[in-house]
């Protein structure tokens, strides 16, 4: 007898949860890290993916219905913000289709820059909220430039004279900025409601959602968003103490923020891309000094709040695997991009973390279904041995031959059954 | 004296480097000899990177210190130095992709190893590669890309080089992000590089060096 959508939903959830808890599920789960693939597969232009919420929702639904993975991933890791919102806010930190990225390219791209200057650590450390509102946001969004005119936020820490200081926020330019933000927020709400109906539809069809919120290691917040890669590298040599102090300052804020958003979505799995900690980007010593201490505290802090961190080891992490044995058992998902890393991780972390990934995106783009099956067979035989493995591509799936993705999913269902 | 500068720079001691350079300039030393020492130190840095002793942050920082030296010395330079190059290398991030951390590192390592590097920047259309190749006739071309969409741009760029009749005169290496043997075959490149070290040794082979 055909299983009902409700039964399938429970079965799929349990399959994934078993793998995460390092138990042996009925078979290897497969939960692909879909991103712009949705748009390309469903025939949307890149611009439509950013601007036409309804088409984008339908593209995701169609892809999931056609490919039948164990879980779906909604769009928030691909279309980070919908296009109209970026337009209204005049976002300076990314380029997106039609705005710096060719309208034919399925991607958004981050613009490397020093959004925080090298001599601004003290201002940041003194009062991060004030720094963010009056210095960082005006650089990030054109529309928020007038926020520079605000008095220091901490100047409100006083008695009956505060009211007129706060009144400075009522300057015309600032009111205009907030009116623009209000429009941006309306777009966000409209987009969010499409994503909510997507979730309802897919849940009704029996597909649970894989993950809906994101956190980042404090070092990556600084390197990606504040100082840029070059900037943060200079800081490692020129002002190491300030850099470490800033990561420690960010840690509890990132923790609170993540718990807040994760609890709101109700989804326990939180995406944590480990961007700049890779073997290629810094030495093991630098990793231990600057990156790992606060990254680890973030991960443990989230686990203590009942969250399951989905750690994405982007690029090469071979030399860091031993350190990952510090993670508590059965509480994280370690997602590897490189096949070499995931095979070695099985040996080192096999009884500590559920492993995910390992199928090269290049293979999905350029190989044949038989090549994909052969690679997946090796992954299932070795990494999938005795559970604790979820099949997936190494990185977000922007481009892939549909038949290759189909081969990855169908072969896992067929060959990945545990007896 | 000169040994001090080489040592300080290759050990990434920025403050010492600055005071040594200031001292040498004050003593009326030939600015070119300071730059020569800088070059020797940068070769040591590159060698330490190839041997796994130094990492990317070390390269980035050494380049920054070297830039500081050049800025101090340049105003005093009477005649520009003439440098012999081992070969020419055209490099760029392919169309559609704006990522350049990896590309910059490769360009830096090639320069340190004596190549004349023509860096076309980011989001470079295939035709721009072709034009530059016609103009400077490099032995090697490096195509960089971080995103999966770069695979097609790499393929298109190689095709454009072929169509212009230039393919046989040079070697093409690709690299960046998730570029691997699958992508090399797909793009019809001669090699792919996991890191800058591979790129340098491939380029040296191409120009018949050691």
Predicted pLDDT at A376: 98
Mean pLDDT, range A99-114, rounded to an integer = 85
Predicted pLDDT at B87: 94
Gyration radius of chain B's alpha carbons: 18
Q: Higher pLDDT residue, A122 or A106?
A: A122
Q: Which residue of A has its CA nearest to B149?
A: A399
Q: What single DSSP character describes residue A288?
A: I
What is the distance between the terminal CA atoms of chain A, rounded to a whole angstrom? 21
8 Å CB contact of B100 and A102: no
**Cβ pair B139, B90 in contact under 8 A:** no
Mean pLDDT, range A26-40, rounded to an integer = 95
B127 touches chain A (CB under 8 A): no
For the ranges A2-6, A386-390, B39-43, B80-84, the lowest mean pLDDT is seen at B80-84
Q: What single DSSP character describes residue A27?
A: B
* CA-based torsion, B176, B180, B181, B185: positive or negative: negative
Q: How confident is the model at residue B195 (pLDDT cuts 50, 70, 90)?
A: confident
Q: What single DSSP character describes residue A158?
A: S
Strand pairing report for B140-144 and B87-93: parallel
Strand pairing report for A94-97 and A109-110: antiparallel
Q: How confident is the model at residue B210 (pLDDT cuts 50, 70, 90)?
A: very low
Nearest CA among B100, B102, B41 for reference residue B68:
B41
List of chain A residues whose C-beta atoms are within 8 Å of the C-beta of residue B125:
none
Chain B interface disruption, residue of A237, A276, A371, most B CBs within 10 A: A237
Q: Where are the alpha helices (DSSP H) in A119-212?
A: 121-126, 128-131, 137-140, 162-166, 172-204
Predicted pLDDT at B82: 65
For the beta sheet containing A100-101, the strands, ordered from the edge strand earlier in sequence to the opposite edge, are A100-101, A94-97, A109-110
Predicted pLDDT at B177: 82
DSSP symbols for A37-73:
HHHHHTT--HHHHHH-HHHHHHHHHHHHHHH--SSB-
> In terms of C-beta density within 10 A (0-12 exposed, 13-18 middle, 19 or more buried), how is residue A345 classed?
buried
Mean pLDDT of chain A, nearest integer: 94
**Cβ pair A244, A288 in contact under 8 A:** no
8 Å CB contact of B178 and A361: yes
Predicted pLDDT at A172: 92
> Each residue of A299-344: pLDDT tens digit?
999 999 999 999 999 988 999 999 999 999 999 999 999 999 999 9
8 Å CB contact of A233 and B57: yes
Mean pLDDT of chain B, nearest integer: 91
Cα–Cα dist B188/A59, whole Å? 33
Nearest CB partner across the interface for B183, out of A95, A101, A366: A366
> Each residue of B137-176: pLDDT tens digit?
999 999 999 888 899 999 999 999 999 999 999 999 999 8
Nearest CB partner across the interface for B101, out of A101, A105, A229: A229
Predicted pLDDT at A72: 95
Q: Specify the pTM.
A: 0.92
**Cβ pair B54, B48 in contact under 8 A:** yes
8 Å CB contact of B14 and A230: no
> Each residue of A218-245: pLDDT tens digit?
999 999 999 999 999 999 999 999 999 9
Predicted pLDDT at A235: 97
> Each residue of A175-191: pLDDT tens digit?
999 999 999 999 999 99
For the ranges A197-206, A331-340, B97-106, B153-162, the lowest mean pLDDT is seen at B97-106
B148 touches chain A (CB under 8 A): yes
Enter the ipTM: 0.87
For residue B19, report the phi and psi dihedrals to the nearest 5 degrees.
Answer: -70, -35
Cα–Cα dist B47/B114, whole Å? 13
Question: What residues contact residue B137 under an 8 Å CB cut-off, 6+ apart?
Answer: B88, B169
Query: Is the pLDDT at A76 greater than 80, yes or no?
Result: no
Q: Write A94-98 long-range contacts (CB < 8 A, 24+).
A: A95/B98, A96/A50, A97/A45, A97/A46, A97/A47, A97/A49, A97/A50, A98/A46, A98/A47, A98/A50
Question: What residues contact residue A185 under an 8 Å CB cut-off, 6+ apart?
Answer: none
Q: Which residue of A has its CA nearest to B62?
A: A234
Q: How confident is the model at residue B206 (pLDDT cuts 50, 70, 90)?
A: very high
Q: Which residue of A has its CA nearest to B57?
A: A233
């Amino acid at each position: 007898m055909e299983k009902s959508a409700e039964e399938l939903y429970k079965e799929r959830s349990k399959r994934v949860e078993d793998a995460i808890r390092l138990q042996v599920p009925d078979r290897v789960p497969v939960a692909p890290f879909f991103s712009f693939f949705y748009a390309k597969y469903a025939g949307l232009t890149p611009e439509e993916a950013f601007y036409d919420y309804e088409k984008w929702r339908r593209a995701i639904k169609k892809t999931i219905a056609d490919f039948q993975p164990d879980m779906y991933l909604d769009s928030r890791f691909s279309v980070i913000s919908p296009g109209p919102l970026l337009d209204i806010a005049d976002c300076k930190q990314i380029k997106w289709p039609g705005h710096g990225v060719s309208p034919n390219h399925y991607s958004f791209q981050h613009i490397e820059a020093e959004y925080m200057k090298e001599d601004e650590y003290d201002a940041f450390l003194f009062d991060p909220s004030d720094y963010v509102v009056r210095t960082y946001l005006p650089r990030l969004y054109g529309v928020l430039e007038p926020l520079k005119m605000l008095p220091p936020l901490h100047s409100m820490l006083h008695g009956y004279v505060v009211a007129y200081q706060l009144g400075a926020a009522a300057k015309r330019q600032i009111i205009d900025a907030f009116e623009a933000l209000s429009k941006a927020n309306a777009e966000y709400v409209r987009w969010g409601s499409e994503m909510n109906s997507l979730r309802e539809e897919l849940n009704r069809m029996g597909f649970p959602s894989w993950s809906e919120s994101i956190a980042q290691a404090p070092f990556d917040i600084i390197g990606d968003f504040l100082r840029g890669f070059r900037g943060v590298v200079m800081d490692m040599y020129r002002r190491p103490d300030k850099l470490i102090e800033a990561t420690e300052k960010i840690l509890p804020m990132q923790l609170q923020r993540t718990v807040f958003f994760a609890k709101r979505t109700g989804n326990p799995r939180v995406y944590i891309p480990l961007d700049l900690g890779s073997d290629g980007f810094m030495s093991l010593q630098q990793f231990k000094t600057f990156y790992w201490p606060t990254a680890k505290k973030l991960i443990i802090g989230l686990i203590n709040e009942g969250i399951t961190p989905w750690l994405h080891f982007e690029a090469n992490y071979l030399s860091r695997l031993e350190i990952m044995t510090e993670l508590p058992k059965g509480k994280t998902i370690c997602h590897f991009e490189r096949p070499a890393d995931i095979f070695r991780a099985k040996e080192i972390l096999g009884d500590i973390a559920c492993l995910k990934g390992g199928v090269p995106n290049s293979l999905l783009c350029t190989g044949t279904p038989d090549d994909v099956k052969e690679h997946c067979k090796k992954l299932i035989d070795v990494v999938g041995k005795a559970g604790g493995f979820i099949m997936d591509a190494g990185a977000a799936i922007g481009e892939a031959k549909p038949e290759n993705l189909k081969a990855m999913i169908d072969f896992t269902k067929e060959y990945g059954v545990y007896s | 004296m000169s040994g001090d500068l080489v040592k300080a720079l290759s050990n990434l001691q920025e403050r010492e480097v600055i005071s040594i350079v200031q001292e040498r300039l004050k003593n009326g030393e030939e600015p070119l000899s300071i730059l020569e020492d800088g070059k020797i130190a940068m070769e040591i840095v590159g060698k330490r990177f190839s041997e796994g002793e130094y990492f990317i942050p070390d390269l980035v920082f050494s380049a920054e210190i070297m830039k500081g030296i050049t800025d101090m010395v340049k105003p005093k330079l009477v005649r520009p130095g003439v440098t012999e190059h081992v070969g020419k290398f055209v490099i760029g991030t392919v169309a559609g992709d704006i990522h350049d951390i990896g590309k910059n590192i490769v360009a830096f390592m090639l320069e340190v190893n004596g190549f004349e590097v023509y860096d076309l920047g980011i989001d470079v259309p295939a035709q721009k590669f072709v034009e530059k190749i016609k103009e400077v006739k490099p032995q090697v071309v490096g195509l960089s890309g971080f995103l999966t969409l770069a695979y097609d741009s790499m393929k298109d760029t190689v095709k454009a080089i072929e169509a212009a009749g230039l393919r046989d005169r040079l070697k093409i290496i690709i690299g960046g992000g998730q570029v691997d043997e699958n992508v090399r075959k797909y793009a019809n490149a001669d090699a792919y590089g996991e890191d800058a070290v591979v790129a340098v040794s491939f380029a040296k082979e191409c120009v018949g060096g050691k």
